[in-house]
Amino acid sequence: MPLPTPGGRDAPVPADDAGVSFIMPVLNEARYLRRSVASTLSQEVPGPVEIVLALAPSTDATNVIARELAASDDRIVLIENAAADIPVGLNLAIRASRYPTIVRVDAHSELAPGYTRRALDTLRRTRAANVGGVMSADGRSPFQRAVARAYNSRVGLGGGAYHGGSSEGPAESAYLGVMRRAVLEEVGLFDESIRRGEDWELNLRIRRAGYRVWFDPTLSVVYWPRESWTRLVRQFRATGAWRGELVRRYGRGNSLRYFAPPALLAASGISVVTAVAQVARRRSGPASLLHLPVAAYAALIAVVALGRGGGRGWRDKAWTAAVLPSMHVSWGAGFVWALFRGARDTVDTSRLRGRNTPLP
């Protein structure tokens, strides 16, 4: 049986007033949950809506807040996600929801006004199975603002469409995503064996089934990054590890941009070994050329940090200079580790509080 032509199948289009289900996995989000839920329920959508919160066993006041919110609005549905894994929580929320269009929301995010209505229009117009827009990262402290600038920069996360793209069209993946339930059920929902990068893998299956994944730059979601350096490093090491796992599983299905951080790590290692050898022999020579990639990278970081991309104050610029290599090196280290050994049980511990669970 021949494989479906990529992008050749139209996703079903339900009635305009058929309803929308927002789904949100939640773990230790006491600082962000109220605003995220408020931005979601303020969306103007024709027909009924619901928001299903998949509650992991949080160690802060998240679940107390969730119960308060649910008691005040019957559109909020609470379910337990004892496993605490994001794809497990997403699947539990999808199965507990009722309506034919699924909107994924992150508890660390806020939907822009008109986001859902615009996404529904785009789904209808393009007959896509999944539509996503721009992740507009923002921050409150100098550190968080520096991380947000890295997210919004091509230098920071490699130039994926949802990190600042401006051209509408077919996409490799979609940030969060506004999806048709029928297609999700056809391809088997999220793969619960993948703890990070589950959205990319789902969209790969959607595309391989012949449906379209669509990027619409007019859609915008505010994302609040991690608030500390240690949490950022833990997040990116786990994310890199699962990308390494996805490369093991899907090989050439992965974009070349995912290999940039491990290449930087390899170049840094070669540079360090070369420098030690040169010091030991007290000479330079042609081997000095091996330092050029690292020197060029350091110059690029300096240009970004000291220029307009580094923010206004000196604290913003200093954190930008620290954040960019921290993200790249931790991501690359996780990638290399998992590429050879697999991600195994690697967990993103960056949102765990009161625990010291190390990554493997």
- What would the pLDDT profile of 309-322 be if each residue is shown by its tens digit? 777 778 888 898 99
Domain of residue 59: give its range.
20-225
Using the predicted structure, report yes or no on whether residue 354 has a pLDDT greater than 70.
no
- With respect to residue 12, please indicate whether it lies within any of the assigned structural domains: no
> pLDDT of 181-203, one tens digit each?
999 999 999 999 999 999 999 99
Those residues whose C-beta lies under 8 Å from the C-beta of residue 45, and which sit 6 or more positions away, are 20, 116, 117, 120
In a domain, 260, yes or no: yes
Task: State residue 48's pLDDT score.
Answer: 96
Is the same domain home to 217 and 246? no
DSSP 181-248: HHHHHHHTS--TT-SSSHHHHHHHHHHHTT--EEEEEEEEEEE---SSHHHHHHHHHHHHHHHHHHHH
Residues 323, 336 within the same domain = yes
**Residue where a domain terminates, one of 196, 225, 254:** 225
d(CA 105, CA 290): 45
Structure tokens at 63: 């679940």
Highest mean pLDDT of the ranges 69-73, 138-142, 252-256, 309-313? 69-73
Which three-class secondary structure state does DSSP give residue 91? helix
pLDDT of residue 161: 59
User: Cβ(4)–Cβ(86) under 8 Å?
Assistant: no
My answer on whether 114 and 170 are in the same domain is: yes
**Do residue 237 and residue 270 come from a single domain?**
yes
| Any domain includes 169 | yes
- Cβ(183)–Cβ(11) below 8 Å: yes
Of the ranges 24-28, 39-43, 98-102, 224-228, which one carries the lowest mean pLDDT score?
224-228
Evaluate whether residue 35 is within a structural domain.
yes
- 141: which DSSP letter? S
Domain match, 213 and 303 both: no
Q: Which residue has the higher pLDDT, 202 or 291?
A: 202
Q: What is the CATH number of the domain that holds 171?
A: 3.90.550.10
pLDDT of residue 53: 98
Residue 4: the pLDDT is: 66
Check residue 284 and give its pLDDT: 57
Token match 């993948």: residue? 194
Same domain as 180, residue 71: yes
Residue 335 lies inside a defined structural domain of this protein: yes
Q: How confident is the model at residue 162 (pLDDT cuts 50, 70, 90)?
A: low
Tell which of 225, 251, 268 closes a domain.
225
Same domain membership, residue 111 and residue 157: yes
Considering the domain architecture, whether residues 243 and 280 belong to the same structural domain is answered as: yes
pLDDT exceeds cutoff 80 at 178? yes
Average pLDDT over residues 260-283: 74
Last residue of a domain, one of 165, 200, 225: 225
Query: What's the rounded mean pLDDT across residues 67-79?
Result: 97
Between CA 328 and CA 155 the distance in angstroms is: 10
Residue 287 lies in a domain: yes
Distance CA 224, CA 357 (A): 23
Same domain as 192, residue 262: no
Cα gap 26→84, rounded to integer Å: 8
Higher pLDDT, 149 or 311: 149
pLDDT per residue as tens digits for the range 74-90: 999 999 999 989 999 99
pTM (two decimals): 0.88
Using pLDDT thresholds of 50, 70 and 90, give the confidence band for residue 128: very high
In a domain, 268, yes or no: yes
The encoded tokens of residue 94 equal: 């999808």
For position 333, what pLDDT does the model report?
93
Give yes or no: residues 125 and 255 share one domain: no
More confident residue, 252 or 94: 94
Looking at the structure of the chain, the number of domains it has is: 2
Q: For residue 170, which of 122, 124, 213 has the smallest C-alpha distance?
A: 213
Same domain for 308 and 208: no
Shared domain check, 145 and 31: yes
Per-residue pLDDT at 355: 42
Domain membership of residue 1 (yes or no) is no
* Of 39-43, 118-122, 214-218, 348-352, the least confident: 348-352
Q: Which of 24-33, 132-141, 278-287 has the lowest mean pLDDT?
A: 278-287
